[in-house]
């Protein structure tokens, strides 16, 4: 579509057969964004290869093979989305939103229970977790609703509508129960509303309500005897405030993760890493993979990973400003917020400054659904970038 437009733009005598890069659309992509995402998943595979050899008896490369496969699949998915005009998703917002809610709800019926919570479907090759893909779907749908409803109802009505649309899937995910992902949904909702221009006063009210809600959930509800959070959820949320000596305790795990990262010092302990090798730190291939990086590769490795995330999010924010239409601005803003929130909460959790919420580190944590969803999000950013470049090109050649 854009290719024809680009060719039409040139006067006939100067028409040049487009080169391979041109036909693949490479000049219109954000190379830095793509490379930083690929580098992160590559580093993930590298880390898993070194740290999880003994985890699955008999197959030392269990996690490595799968994560590499998800990475390749994700990169393909990213490229496919790059070639699609993201503006289509705006028209499909109702369908996307319905699919989002239905797929999350279906988990309750057909889902595969792991550790007491139903989050995923067992598919032949891997278990698919709809709430991960849901993050991206929520951004696409909610941004569409915000653009579409820009002139319907009073400002307060609009704010409440956006909140409800965003919080409904968040509530479904919360009930799975998956507190961490529901918080990501909340962050996405707030970010899209923020970029969408919801008034500061409204945010102030929402903020106040959040504080009141948190207080009542964590303090009031348990004292009245009607806890909203499950025991372990509450414990995790508050544990970073009170390190503990009990290994079965969330505070203990967090303390061990902190020790792991700290003991890595400047250059890391390599194969002499004990914290993450000897099960002091749990979930080392998923939620606590940053602790593995910190202990094995030290400040150099951990800072490199953080820098790659900074690069990724910087490019995402840049794409927010480049977008050719406001739908793209909102979508890019939502995705940037989603990535930022996940990185900060997960790394913060590893560093002992954020509660344990079970949010995976995008592209680093082992898991097909998470890796794929993140690459799809990056693919949408690429699409926004490409559309912006093509429209500029069109404008300049005219």
Partner 1 sequence: MYLRSDERGPAVSSRLALRLALFGGFAVVLFAILFLRLWLLQIVDGETYLAEAKNNRTRSFRTSAPRGNILDRNGDVLVANRTSLALQVNPRKLPADPAERRAELSQLADLTHSTLKRLRKTMHEELKLAPAAPVTLRRDVGHYLVYYLQENQERFPGVEVQRVFVRAYPDGTLAAHILGNVGEISEDQLKERRYKSLVPGDEIGQDGVEDTYDGYLRGRPGLTRIQVDALGEPTPNGRLVSKAPAPGDNLKLTIDQSVQEAGERAMAERGLPGGFITMDVRTGEILGVGSFPTFEPALFTRPLTQKQVDETIRNPAGPLTDRAVDGLYPTGSTFKLITALAALESDNLQPGEVIEDPGVLVVGGQEFKNAGEAANGSVSLVEALEVSSDVFFYTLGLRMWDSGELQRWAHALGIGRPTGIDLPEHEESLLPTQRWRNQLYKEGLTDRPWSAGDNIQLATGQGDLQTSPLQMAIAYATLANGGTVVTPHVGKEVTDTAGRVLKEFSPKPQRHLRIDPEYRAAILEGLHDAAQNGGGTSFDVFGDFPIPVAGKTGTAQRPPHLDQSWYGVLAPYPNPRIVTFVTMEEGGFGAESAAPAARKILEAYFANQLAREASPKEESEG
Between CA 254 and CA 258 the distance in angstroms is 6
Q: Least distance (Å) from partner 1 to the CB of residue 134?
A: 23
Between CA 369 and CA 222 the distance in angstroms is 34
Q: Least distance (Å) from partner 1 to the CB of residue 324?
A: 6
Between CA 37 and CA 31 the distance in angstroms is 10
> 138: closest CA among 319, 330, 3?
330
3-state secondary structure of 67: helix
**Cβ distance to partner 1 smaller for residue 298 or 355:** 298
**Cβ distance to partner 1 smaller for residue 347 or 372:** 347
H/E stretch holding 121 reads strand 117-122
DSSP 216: I
Residues 350 and 342 sit within 8 Å (Cβ to Cβ) = no
Residues 236 and 355 sit within 8 Å (Cβ to Cβ) = yes
Question: Which positions touch partner 1 (CB under 8 A)?
Answer: 27-28, 31, 57, 191, 194-195, 197, 246-248, 256, 258-266, 269, 274-275, 278-280, 294-295, 298-299, 302-303, 306, 309-310, 313-314, 317, 320-325, 329, 333, 336-337, 340, 343-344, 347-348, 351-353, 388-389, 392-393, 396
Q: Least distance (Å) from partner 1 to the CB of residue 396?
A: 7
Q: Least distance (Å) from partner 1 to the CB of residue 94?
A: 26
Q: Least distance (Å) from partner 1 to the CB of residue 136?
A: 19
Q: Least distance (Å) from partner 1 to the CB of residue 223?
A: 27
**Cβ distance to partner 1 smaller for residue 120 or 253:** 253
Q: Which residues pair with 122 in a beta bridge?
A: 127
H/E stretch holding 300 reads helix 289-322
**Cβ distance to partner 1 smaller for residue 59 or 223:** 59
H/E stretch holding 26 reads none
**Cβ distance to partner 1 smaller for residue 153 or 197:** 197
**Cβ distance to partner 1 smaller for residue 31 or 153:** 31
* CA 52 to chain centroid: 23
Q: Least distance (Å) from partner 1 to the CB of residue 397?
A: 11
**Cβ distance to partner 1 smaller for residue 219 or 353:** 353
Q: Which residues pair with 128 in a beta bridge?
A: 121
**Cβ distance to partner 1 smaller for residue 215 or 279:** 279
> 334: closest CA among 130, 155, 174, 196?
196
Q: Least distance (Å) from partner 1 to the CB of residue 192?
A: 12
How many residues are recorded in the chain? 398
**Cβ distance to partner 1 smaller for residue 228 or 303:** 303
H/E stretch holding 118 reads strand 117-122
Q: Least distance (Å) from partner 1 to the CB of residue 105?
A: 32
**Cβ distance to partner 1 smaller for residue 87 or 325:** 325
Q: Least distance (Å) from partner 1 to the CB of residue 101?
A: 28
Tell me the three-class secondary structure of 129-178, residue by residue: CHHHHHHHHHHHHHHHHHHHCCCCCCHHHHHHHHHHHHHHHHHHHHCCCC
C-alpha Rg value of the chain to the nearest Å = 22
């Amino acid at each position: 579509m854009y290719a024809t437009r680009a060719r039409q733009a040139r006067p006939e005598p100067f028409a040049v057969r487009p080169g391979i890069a041109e036909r693949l659309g490479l000049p219109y992509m954000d190379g830095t964004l793509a490379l930083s995402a690929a580098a992160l998943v590559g580093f993930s595979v590298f880390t898993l290869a070194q740290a999880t050899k003994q985890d699955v008896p008999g197959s030392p490369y269990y996690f490595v093979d799968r994560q590499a496969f998800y990475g390749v699949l994700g990169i393909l998915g990213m490229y496919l989305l790059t070639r699609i005009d993201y503006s289509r998703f705006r028209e499909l917002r109702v369908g996307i939103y319905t699919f989002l809610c239905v797929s999350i709800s279906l988990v309750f019926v057909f889902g595969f229970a792991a550790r007491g919570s139903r989050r995923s479907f067992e598919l032949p090759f891997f278990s698919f977790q709809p709430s991960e893909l849901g993050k991206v779907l929520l951004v696409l749908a909610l941004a569409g609703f915000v653009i579409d409803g820009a002139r319907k109802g009073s400002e307060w009505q609009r704010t409440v509508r956006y909140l409800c649309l965003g919080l409904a899937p968040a509530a479904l995910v919360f009930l799975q129960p998956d507190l961490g992902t529901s918080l990501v949904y909340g962050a996405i909702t707030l970010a899209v509303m923020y970029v969408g221009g919801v008034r500061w006063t409204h945010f102030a009210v929402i903020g106040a309500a959040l504080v009141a809600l948190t207080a009542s959930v964590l303090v009031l509800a348990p004292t009245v005897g009607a806890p909203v959070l499950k025991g372990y959820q509450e414990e995790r949320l508050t544990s970073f405030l009170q390190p503990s000596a009990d290994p079965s305790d969330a505070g203990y795990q967090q303390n061990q993760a902190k020790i792991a990262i700290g003991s890595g010092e400047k250059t890391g302990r390599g194969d002499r890493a004990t914290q993450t090798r000897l099960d002091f730190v749990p979930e080392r291939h998923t939620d606590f993979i940053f602790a593995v990086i910190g202990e094995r590769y030290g400040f150099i490795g951990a800072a490199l990973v953080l820098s790659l995330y900074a690069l990724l999010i910087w490019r995402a924010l840049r794409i927010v400003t480049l977008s050719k239409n406001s739908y793209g601005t909102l979508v890019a803003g939502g995705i940037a917020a989603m990535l930022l929130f996940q990185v900060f909460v997960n790394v913060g959790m590893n560093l002992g400054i954020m509660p344990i919420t079970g949010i995976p580190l995008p592209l680093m944590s082992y898991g097909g659904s998470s890796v794929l969803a993140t690459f799809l999000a990056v693919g949408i950013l690429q699409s926004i970038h490409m559309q912006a470049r093509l429209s500029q090109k069109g404008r300049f050649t005219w």
